[in-house]
Amino acid sequence: MIGSDDVVLLELQKWVGNRLPILDYIDIGDELAWGEWTIILYRHDCTKCQTELGRYQEGARTNADQRIAFVEIPPYGPRPPGSDSPDPLRRWGSLKNVKNWFVTTPAIVNVKDGVVKE
């Protein structure tokens, strides 16, 4: 992450091998710090994001063991259908609205025990 107190540019390619620097800013970050997760950072008004979310939701039906976290970047909007599911392997969260986050979305990050994998 680079930036000032208010503005942060997320550079995912620089995170490999390090603790996910935004974990403390994700409302479900404590859950994502353990085990293997595919984290999809998305914006509610991003067409590509909606396509990617649908693809991962569909793929989750065939790969039931894969943990996927859908993390919305502010400003927040309505959550997609199915986001209220109690499934512990499909989690929906939000990046806290405490900074101006800049990242090309959708952005996909794979983590194991909170550390970013390639």
Q: How is domain 2-117 classified at the CATH fold level? A: Glutaredoxin (3.40.30)
CA distance 76 to 44: 7
Residues 12-67 have pLDDT tens digits of 999 999 999 999 999 999 999 999 999 999 999 999 999 998 888 776 666 667 89
pLDDT at 34: 96
Nearest to 112, CA basis, from 21, 30, 19 = 19
Residues 94-103 have pLDDT tens digits of 999 999 999 9
